[in-house]
Amino acid sequence: MFFLIFLAAAALVVLGLRVTDGSRLARAMCPEGLCFVLGTAVVGFAGLCYLTLWGEGAALARNQVSPALVAGAQLWILAVGIYVLSALRGAAGFPAWVADLIVLGAAYGAIRADGRVLLSVSSSMPDSPALPLGLWAVPLTMGWIWMVARMCAALSRVPSVSGGFLGLLAGLIFLLTGTASATHNSFPPSAMAALAGAGLATFLMSLRFPHLNLGWSATLAMGFVLGVASALELLKNTLPAILALALLALGLPLLDVTLVQVRARLRGQSVEWSQTRQRLHEALASRGVAPRKIALLYIAIGLWTCKLAYCVSRWFFEGPTHPAVTLLYALIVVGWTVGGAIGFFSIARLLMRRVPGEDVPESIEAFGVKISPVSMGEALDKIEEFIARGTPHHVLTSDANAILTSRDDPDYAAIMRRAALITPDGFGVIWGARLLNLPIYERVTGVDMVTGICERAAKKGYRIYILGAAEGIASTAARNLSERYPGLQVVGTHHGFWRRDPKNAAWTAEDDAKMAQEIAAQNVDVLFVAMGIPSQEKFIAAQLECMKTPVALGVGGSFDVYAGKFNRAPNYVQRMGLEWLYRVWIDPSRWKRMGYVPKFMLVALKTWLSRPPKNGAKPASGAF
């Protein structure tokens, strides 16, 4: 039955929103909120009637009117009345405190309509009796309902989120109270099922129609319903714990960037007044994040906090357990909280894009290495500049593995410091840089640079040499690239196992010198070296002057892809930053080499917590 209420509310709200979309009325006022409130109220009241009169636990005989039905009807009338009066208040230009009085009056009316709305306190012990609050019961109940309503109304600042988050909160209360309460009080489960369905439908529609806005009055009215439902059932047990969890679930998506600004001040960084007044969604929008992505991020935060609230609430409801189990559960909750906070903060940073006027230096010191904050187009332009100059330049693509290698290998670290260009390769580097608020927004990978360089080389006649990989891979990759880009001049290829004895330094240096002379004889413009980190960089650094190539670039295992040995991850996997996981999936033997991923994440977190980044770049307005 509750699932039918959920579906009916969703269908009715969708129908109402589609009918009013684009109408003359839509241009004159906000009918979306009216459709949302009326649709939820009609379906919720219909479900209440069924559960009260014919459902399990119907209280009275067939010919009698249930007091619970009358009380439920009065509560829905109060909710609709809040919407109407609040909308009239806004149209008349009255101050916001008038709406507060409306909600407080409706809260008092809810208490008079159903005495069970009054709050009480009980301990977490099973079957413990509720402790009445005496004279404080009425003002505390009114204050609770008002607080929930106002916090829900604040969701209207992010129009595409308000409906979905109301639905999440309704679903949370429904799961915590369960369906057992329908046997003695049908309003909370029927109202929460209807509101959950309406909220989910509204959120899905808002992703397609960004202009959809429930408005302040509708979210205020539905917040009143949430407050009443939680007062009827949820807050009868362990009031302090559930109150804290409700504040968490309601308040986290409403946080602005003030906490981040305080953190910046503690670190001695200057913060503009305009930044301190920005909320999270405003800061994200000012940094080029699309409204749809902001909405999805907020809903993800809502799911996370509601899950946390649900787990801890069930823990309190079940009562005390063994101390070891309690400690383990507490550690899990703390880990879930801290991990989620860091995760969502990272996602918010990753969604940001470079904005006009942002001061981006030529290079940035991050994690002990120098990284060039360039886009793919900017990197290719720089490579063309290097070719035009004609002097040797070493170009590196730096992923998390390269950064960690440089921390343990002084020779490799020195090579990275001397490189002409180091591009951010790998999602881990982007994540770590964005965590530190460094202006690095885009991956510039070796495999993508091969594509870009070959495309430009085919048009401008640059001479390409491919060195490295297993025998036959380089020649196959060269043939495939020449077919893809007609006119591409690949003047030579060679596999990466020319050294007679890699463990013998003297023979290795002699063999490397012969290979460098062969490359120099071909008058190469761009040299691709695919030998893995750090071998390819050490070879290039040692033989760069001898080869006389304007651009020498280490590209790792890129030519396995161009030779058809492996396929790249789909574009959506690359955009999600999970290409490394895809490569492990198709080649499980790589799993042993992936230990650098969590190690680098720990390095990035330690850097973020210990000190501010020293890059000399001024954050753009709206950054946090």
Q: How confident is the model at residue 466 (pLDDT cuts 50, 70, 90)?
A: very high
d(CA 143, CA 323): 36
372, 449 contact by CB (below 8 A): no
The angle that helices 376-389 and 446-460 make with each other, rounded to 10 degrees, is 50
Q: Could you tell me the two tokens for 257?
A: 């960037």
pLDDT for the residue 383: 93
Q: Alpha-carbon dihedral of residues 56, 62, 66, 69, nearest 10 degrees?
A: 70
Structural domain boundaries, residue 32: 2-243
Do 405 and 548 sit in the same domain of this protein? yes
pLDDT for the residue 362: 83
pLDDT in tens, 260-298: 555 566 556 665 555 555 667 777 787 788 888 888 888
Domain assignment present for residue 340? The answer is no
**Alpha carbon of 447 to those of 43, 562, 590, 618: distances in Å?**
56, 9, 18, 31
Pick from 356, 49, 300: which is nearest to 182 by CA? 49
Q: Could you tell me the two tokens for 330?
A: 């507490």
pLDDT for the residue 29: 45
Percent of the chain with pLDDT over 90: 14
Report the Cα 474 to chain-centroid distance in Å.
Answer: 40
d(CA 497, CA 387): 28
428, 600 contact by CB (below 8 A): yes
pLDDT for the residue 610: 74
pLDDT in tens, 288-340: 888 888 888 888 888 887 887 777 766 666 655 667 777 777 788 788 878 88
pLDDT in tens, 467-493: 988 888 888 999 999 999 999 999 999
Domain assignment present for residue 622? The answer is no
The dihedrals phi and psi of 121, each to the nearest 5 degrees, come to -120, 135
Do 463 and 598 sit in the same domain of this protein? yes
396, 423 contact by CB (below 8 A): yes
pLDDT in tens, 490-514: 999 988 888 767 666 666 788 888 8
User: How many CA atoms, within 13 angstroms, populate the side-chain half-sphere of residue 600?
Assistant: 27
Give the end of a domain, one of 214, 243, 272.
Answer: 243
- Mean pLDDT (the chain) is 78
The dihedrals phi and psi of 370, each to the nearest 5 degrees, come to -100, 125
pLDDT for the residue 360: 80
pLDDT for the residue 179: 54
Do 228 and 368 sit in the same domain of this protein? no
Do 231 and 368 sit in the same domain of this protein? no
Give residues with Cβ within 8 angstroms of 495, minimum separation 6: 468, 469, 470, 471, 472, 473, 474
Q: How confident is the model at residue 106 (pLDDT cuts 50, 70, 90)?
A: very high
d(CA 152, CA 229): 14
The whole-number average pLDDT for the span 232-238 is: 58
Give the end of a domain, one of 175, 208, 243.
Answer: 243
The dihedrals phi and psi of 373, each to the nearest 5 degrees, come to -80, 70
pLDDT for the residue 268: 61
441, 434 contact by CB (below 8 A): yes
d(CA 86, CA 97): 11
Q: How confident is the model at residue 207 (pLDDT cuts 50, 70, 90)?
A: confident
pLDDT of 26 strictly over 50? no
User: Contacts from 361-364 at CB under 8 Å and sequence distance 24+?
Assistant: 361/615, 361/616, 361/617, 363/422, 364/433, 364/438, 364/439, 364/440, 364/613, 364/615, 364/617
Q: Alpha-carbon dihedral of residues 403, 406, 407, 411, nearest 10 degrees?
A: -170
pLDDT in tens, 591-602: 666 667 778 888
- In the chain, the number of structural domains is 2
Domain assignment present for residue 126? The answer is yes
Domain assignment present for residue 429? The answer is yes
Give the end of a domain, one of 192, 214, 243.
Answer: 243
d(CA 115, CA 556): 72
Domain assignment present for residue 50? The answer is yes
d(CA 239, CA 154): 24
Domain assignment present for residue 568? The answer is yes
Do 236 and 368 sit in the same domain of this protein? no
Do 223 and 369 sit in the same domain of this protein? no
Domain assignment present for residue 569? The answer is yes
Question: In this structure, are strands 369-371 and 364-366 parallel, antiparallel, or unpaired?
Answer: antiparallel
Instruction: Find the DSSP H helices in 279-371.
Output: 280-286, 291-318, 323-351
pLDDT for the residue 128: 54
- Which of 476 and 53 is assigned the larger pLDDT? 476
Q: Alpha-carbon dihedral of residues 198, 204, 207, 211, nearest 10 degrees?
A: -30
Q: How confident is the model at residue 102 (pLDDT cuts 50, 70, 90)?
A: very high
pLDDT in tens, 143-200: 888 988 888 888 787 777 888 888 888 888 888 776 545 445 678 888 888 998 888 8
Question: In this structure, are strands 131-132 and 120-121 parallel, antiparallel, or unpaired?
Answer: antiparallel
Handedness of CA 410, 416, 417, 418 (dihedral sign): positive
pLDDT for the residue 108: 92
| H or E segment to which residue 146 belongs | helix 137-153
The whole-number average pLDDT for the span 520-542 is: 90
What is residue 235's DSSP assignment? G
| H or E segment to which residue 492 belongs | strand 489-494
Task: Bin 238: left if φ > 0, else alpha if -120 < ψ < 50, else beta.
Answer: left
pLDDT of 124 strictly over 50? no
Domain assignment present for residue 601? The answer is yes
- Which of 170 and 59 is assigned the larger pLDDT? 170
